[in-house]
Amino acid sequence: MTYEIDEILNEAVMTGVPSVIVEGVDDICIYSEIAKDNTPFSVEVYAVEHISGFGEGCEEVLRAISEIEAIRSSKHKTSDHVLGIIDKDVRDFRGEAPESEAVLMLKHYSIESHFVSQTIVQYALKTCTRSSHEMITNELCDFITREIEGRLLRLYYFSLEALKKSLVRNYDAAFCYSYGYGRLKDERAKELITAKKDELDAFAAEKNIEKSIVSLKGIARGKWLIDVFAEELVLCINDLQGLCKDSAIESCRSCLNQAFDKCLYKVREGVNKNTIKSIALSNITGPEFVYIAQRISSLKGSVVSKQGSIGAVLQ
């Protein structure tokens, strides 16, 4: 089913159900969940490709919003009823942040970047091990999160190289944003990028980029980030059994009784990188999503939702 562009605004105004336009069909469930759990009113989420005459992607979202804003109305402001949400990508570095009040540009490279968080670490421990609620302490989650963040920083120079390629005309890059996750393991690319380390450090300084997880979320392709995060989280969870046995973390009751094969931190059968990735992308909670929920909640809706109050993502 497709919709006409003028329908998006008209339906939002007449029904009291604001419209959110997103880049693709995979985004619908994410933003629908954010809206459902964090706004006091109902929200309709549209993939821009479902609007007649439009394709997928951020440029199409911007074009759709521009056309809706061109519909003259003396009573209704577009940004009160319709919101387009786009990934940041490298727009901030190009000075291409949208000026429209009806567009929200994400703070990180893409929506996937928001799932790299301690909230997901805690949820994965609950889901993928037999550990009790009391065993999954803030200290343990902090420990694992810091460990993973340190490992994620191996993406830093790959991301700087890709960013420089996207910003500097005719730059001869060893890595670019069009590459998939598997290319991160390309030894030749690693060698070439390592040889450019000083050059890339100077580029980072010029762009005010520091080697930190916050900066990495802004320059690393989100799909790389979530894949490496899931891979490293599986490794960290698998390490917990040995740490428990050696009392490097608070030992579970099984290990205290030397029943090490029954360690409660032991990962459940069948858990792998894809399991963790699926768990992460279906768990849309945590402070990373609050600003998105707040912007959606600023829309003017009048149809009361059965669920949701602002701040639920903090749970």
Q: What is the pLDDT of residues 47-73, one digit of tens each?
A: 999 999 999 999 999 999 999 999 876
- pTM recorded for the entire structure: 0.91
pLDDT in tens, 71-129: 876 578 999 999 999 999 999 999 999 999 999 999 999 999 999 999 999 999 999 99
pLDDT attached to residue 314: 41
pLDDT attached to residue 42: 92
Bridge partners of 20, per DSSP, are 45, 83
Q: At what angle do helices 138-152 and 118-128 cross, to 10 degrees?
A: 110
In whole angstroms, give the CA distance from residue 281 to residue 294. Answer: 20
Identify the burial level of 207 via C-beta atoms within 10 angstroms of its C-beta, where 0-12 means exposed, 13-18 middle and 19 or more buried. middle
Is residue 81 a contact partner of residue 300, using CB atoms and an 8 Å limit? yes
Q: Smallest Cα–Cα separation from 115: which of 220, 25, 2, 208?
A: 220
pLDDT attached to residue 302: 78
pLDDT in tens, 237-284: 999 999 999 999 999 999 999 999 999 999 999 999 999 999 999 999
In whole angstroms, give the CA distance from residue 209 to residue 219. Answer: 9
pLDDT attached to residue 285: 87
pLDDT in tens, 6-41: 999 999 999 999 999 999 999 999 999 999 888 889
Burial string for 115-149 (b: 16+ CB within 10 Å, else e) reads: bbbbbbbbbbbeebbebeeebbeeebbebbbebbb
CATH of 5-111+287-314, one of 1.20.58, 3.40.50, 3.30.1340, 1.10.150: 3.40.50
DSSP-based three-state secondary structure for 104 = strand
Classify residue 83 by its DSSP letter.
E
Q: Where do the structural domains in the chain lie, given as residue ranges?
A: 5-111+287-314, 118-281
Is residue 209 a contact partner of residue 215, using CB atoms and an 8 Å limit? yes
